[in-house]
Structure 1
Amino acid sequence: MLYRKTALLTAAGAALAALAAPHAAYAAEDARGTGRPALDGSGECTFPMKKQFAGRPWSLQRVLLDELWQDTKGKGVRVAVIDTGVDNTNPQLQDAVDASAGADYLEGGTSDGTVDEVGHGTKVAGIIAARPRKGTGFVGLAPEATIVPIRQNDEKNSGKDTTMATAIDHAIAEGAQVINISQDTTKPLTPTSALGRAVARALHKNIVVVASAGNDGMDGKLRSTYPAAFEGVLAVASSDRNNERAPFSQAGAFVGVAAPGVDIVSTVPGYGQCTDNGTSFSAPYVAGVAALMRAKYPKWTAAQIVARIEQTAERSVNGHDDFVGWGVVDPVRALSGDDTPQDAAHPDAGPPKAQAPDPARLSMSETSQERSERYATYALVLAAVLISVVVGTATVVRDLRRRRGVQ
């Protein structure tokens, strides 16, 4: 079973769980890979907060929201958040969460998925579907989508790959069209594992499965994390304000795209908002885009939606790399342009090749024949000039003699 150390914060006498800060996550890497999916968030904040962020967060400033929402805001789309629960008392989530469809798969859990003692799942849900609220510029990317809250982990990382598999099956049963999983394990899992089979069932039901890539990328090593690395899952890395990979973001060939994951604002249990860092908060950014696409293109397959998100990402290289996948997600481009679906992303077509001109022939030196011909030309020209001079002189002499009466 996979275990990952997390930092615990204490506020107002209560033990509040915080997601491990990047440096702590890296130090805890040797505790990974033992079977228990770890939360991918990093950073510290306490809750409930007494304030909201008034301005538009940077991760939303890069998106023209009016253009993004020109056709849909995700109404009718159900997004399952398999996490630490989703607290629906936050004003921006009260109308977003379908508590009747929720579930709690922690040992001894009795909630409907709306208990979140960590705050992690509430942040994830807010990035996807937080409703607009007066006094704050923060809003979810799909602010009319519905969240299906599924509690599967806690501050002790009690969740297992087997309980995550059960949570996925619950999401399928509740009609989820998108599933967000902001947890990972470095334990190698095969497609025939319980989690692998559950992911396959979701994909078979045409559900878009989005998962965080993980936060152990500071050492620069490539490694696969699960469920992100399963075939068909859209694995999301973190990018910063410069559209470059965040240093903590896990790299690997399985990465599909990157999305903002640094200083990310979102909702917390009870009231208010705080900022956090991690691929946990990059994944729901992409899940929100997928929810909008589900609403706009209801006949598209899950694979076609993933392909469009990857194909329209902002690329620094023409193709795929291990750090940001196909590039940093561009929500507006994903929702605009050609309505013809494609089944897989591909490198951009390069500019058309120009027709090469006929090569110019270069001569290194003059041949003997060419030299003789040149001299002959000079001789002919010189002879013509001399004849002209002689003829001209004779004419002048003749005319002078006539004038003097000399015959």
Structure 2
Amino acid sequence: MRPSSTNAPSASSRISSMSFRVLSFAAIVGMLAACASVPLPPQAPARPPTPASAPAGVQPAPVDGLPPGVITRGRSRWVPVAWSELPGFAGDALHEAWNAWVRSCERPQPPHAALCPEVRRLSIASADEQRAWMTQRLQPYRVEPLQPGAESLLTGYYEPMLDASRVPSAAQQVPLYRLPADSATRRPWYTRQEIDTLPQARAALRGREIAYVADPLDALSLQIQGSGRVRVTEPDGRVSTMRLAFAGSNEQPYRSVGSWLLQQGALRDASWPGIKAWARANPQRVQEMLWSNPRVVFFREEPLTELDAAFGPRGAQGVPLTPGRSIAVDKDSIPYGTPVWLASPGPLLNLNRLVIAQDTGSAIVGAVRADYFVGWGPEAGDVAGRLKQPLAMWVLWPR
């Protein structure tokens, strides 16, 4: 969905600087949640991993020759391993991930809910104490695909920041819509091309406009990401910032405009920056490119408080996403709220870190497949638009 990649060091440093204030603010939230808690549990030495019992809904793999404790879920096979297999485990800044973990505890999923009191207490612990607790209470499983040869892939997504007008203007004429009133009774709803060309589709959306942006590719990006931040100019000149959150779609299939351009032989760099460069050079074909993706996303307005602004939008788990520490996964293979060790060496980002599975997406399918939430704004968009790297994952499951 977001192919290609470029230079690693500059992209990594941009993410670090971009997220520092966000993560510092989020750490305060975690500290406040822990202040009234009981003291930390005593630290105990790590013990060798033992095969955990199968999680609820997960059945032991009925395949001869597999090691004891191997379990299957969805498209994935989980193989129990030692903590020493996790690359970079001793060096990660775990407190950053703990902020995301505490957020997951707002909507805990079994069996992780039982750990949440301890997770909250440990939000003010040292990294060594957090690591010792993890090795005591969790068992790492290497995630493998059930089907040999299945793709392992890390991509990125972000929250766009756009300027918009509440009413159409000479510069801003591309509408962003609320969910149509008849969306529940007409499934699938009109395609993108039909919305632009059929009088009955346009009539159904009349009065459903939230705001107008200048660039149809920015509107498409907002729809692909599923949400975004918008600075809206009101008719009286006031400017306010809101979040446009996912409200639904026309339930048409998603088609990548990048893949369409590759099939057309129009470009070789199907990253988002490459797509925008092609559009600037070929304005007469932009409409054709947009229509190649029949899927349209509709939005709802949400206020953006100071606390909301420190996190991303709510993911499919129902909790706000944390930049650099939240991922979208195939929910049939990895349950929401699961801590995951992620390793992805690449020219754009070199990642060995703890993340939390808090979201999903129609394009996120497969056992070893994740979409990495980068943050918000143009710099995050540049990284997310280029991120496409190999991936290894370990789920960390309660013993």
TM-score using structure 2 length: 0.23
Considering fraction of residues, name the structure with more strand.
2
RCO higher in structure (CA 8 A, sep ≥6):
2
Over alpha carbons, which structure has the higher Rg?
1
